[in-house]
Chains A and B, each alone.
Chain A
Amino acid sequence: MAFKIFKKKDTGKSRKQSAREKNEHTNKEINIITWVFVIAFVALTGHIVYFTAFQSESFINNSYNSKRAELLARRIVRGRIVSADGKILAETVGNGAEEVRSYPYGSLFAHAVGFASQGGTGVESISGFTLLRSDDPINLRIKNDINGIKNNGDTVITTLDTGLQKAAYDAFGKHKGAVIAINVKTGEILAMVSKPDFDPNDIEELWTELNDDEENSPLVNRATLGLYPPGSTFKIVTALEYIKEHPDITGYEFDCNGSFTFEDITISCYHGAQHGHLDLKSSFARSCNSSFANITSQLDRKKFEETCSRLMFNSRLPSPFSYRESSVLINDTSKTPEVIQAGIGQGRTQVTPIHMAMITAAVANDGILMRPMVVSAVRNSRGTGVKTYSPTEYARLMSSEESRLLRELMREVVISGTGYRLQGTDGYEIAGKTGSAEYSKDKTKSHAWFTGFAPVDDPQIAVTVIAEGAGSGGESAAPVARKVFDAWFSK
């Protein structure tokens, strides 16, 4: 009741005095609220500054924002796109109504560099607003503004290498599919081929035709948007999970008689092969489906699911290009046949080539995935540097020891397994994994996969190849990869 007594005493004072004390008292609360609001507004302002300075550049490069790009293009000549070796990949020529976007390499960079019109694709889209910003000296820009001359947009330096791109493009020949090469230590995308392709110089005239061609979908960049069954390349993931559960891999043994039956599913080896007595290394090297079905049947599904998530299945990829998410159905509740199918890369699992390249790059780079990048620097039209992008680590996908064991397995593929066509390289050695992914009822048809890296002792570059319907990975995809590696190491 002390409270009440105090109140009584309070009323005993003169009204004015009490009001004044009261006032002082209440202002404390008002002060607190004022400060809370000031802090909230400062935080809001900080957010806006942060967004404008650091996030807006990548955010605004969106096809839904193309109207603003058009408006900028009225005042700025779209800048150049240049390769890592200094060649012009795209530039604007002519002026006024004659202004056209020219791609000197034609269809070679059709998907990687892309095209600027029709909403934009490739680097043209990724760097859309950078190309339309001028960082020329201010006096020059003002002079141009005053004279009503368009200013020159900035030049974008890519990580793409014309020599490597050409090698990949030629080696891939008339196949449908994709080739992608990544520098495993920096994440730089060195080459990216997708076929069928088109000549971006003629995009306006070809647009309707290319768009309507649903059978070949030439406009789709298969390297990042193509979802394929991974086939035996998925055994990298299954092997990783096995290694995690059994760090001593020498304990594994299996006798392959051509097929493996577990509960009510039977898995057969590719083209009816019988591999005989195997350990983990030879199971992997010879890509034995029966052995890997056996391995999968023993794996902890919950942990397998976690490993897949860590390798970015069913989730976002750090891809500068627009991409599709890979999917795999392994979890607590999935049925045994589904899991076993997934474990050998068949069933409903789907991956994009760039995703497979990222996994391979992480294996090669001691378990760490460097964030893939395609733009390395921005310069103004006169060549003065504006900005450089340094390589950044994206995530550790596996431990150093796990990656070492996987590298050993992948090396064995070339030494004694399905990757034998990659033997005898000049001055460097390749490691990798082949895949022959069945994609229809007709079991004789398969997509040919190869994903690998080189040199084995100090990996620099990862290459992933997918050739649609081209048969076995070892026969069709590995030789393409070899030519890409050769081109890189003969430089």
Chain B
Amino acid sequence: MAESLLALRDLRKHYGGLAVTDGVTLDVLPGEIHAIIGPNGAGKTTLIHEITGVVAPDSGQVVFAGRDVTRLSLPRRARAGLARSFQITSVVAGFSALENVALAAQARAGSSFRFFRPAASERALNEAAMAALSEVGLADRAAVPAGALSHGEKRALEIAIALATQPRLLLLDEPLAGAGPEETERLIALLTRLKAAYTILLVEHDMQAVFALANRISVLVYGRVIATGTVAEIRANAEVRAAYLGEDDA
């Protein structure tokens, strides 16, 4: 088995008496799309918070690219190569689409304690940003304020922002949430294109999409991973069907 890019080792988190993350161990291998699915209340959001550094686990380890990042903050994990999108779209609404992405490129291109030159005239940043925007199909929307983009475009913009940080792992938190059928189709096509080039940890409710995209799936129920396997294995798993697929419509 190849060295995993992201490894969760026995993560635990309690809120009061409730075990929200109850001994999660999980490996994301380089090059794969690894999906996490689970019914509402399974603890997916908390798990993402633990992976990205918003919430610290009570015990256990988060190992990213061979390095223990359990105690690192969100920005430091981002600098280590962990890029994320948010369940609720999070862009800088007052910035143009281009500047949103250029900000991310800037995080990868030397110090940002530079005070004199206008950032908007830095060609290297703008080119990197345009490249990422083209990759998600937003090149012709570069000058539009992010707040004025459609919902699907904002989702794509978030992915472009993530790409511009040159991530080693893309963590996409329900990238299809709230998208209409057409937008969903476009976003799935985009994710399929990205699949070739990036390692992706995908948290998603849309089963059709997960089964179409994922190499492997982990099923989270009440804070525990009850199964990890290929699409076919998960589909055939009786425990998963009982615990999860019964309430697929959640």
Task: State yes or no: do A and B come from one complex.
Answer: no
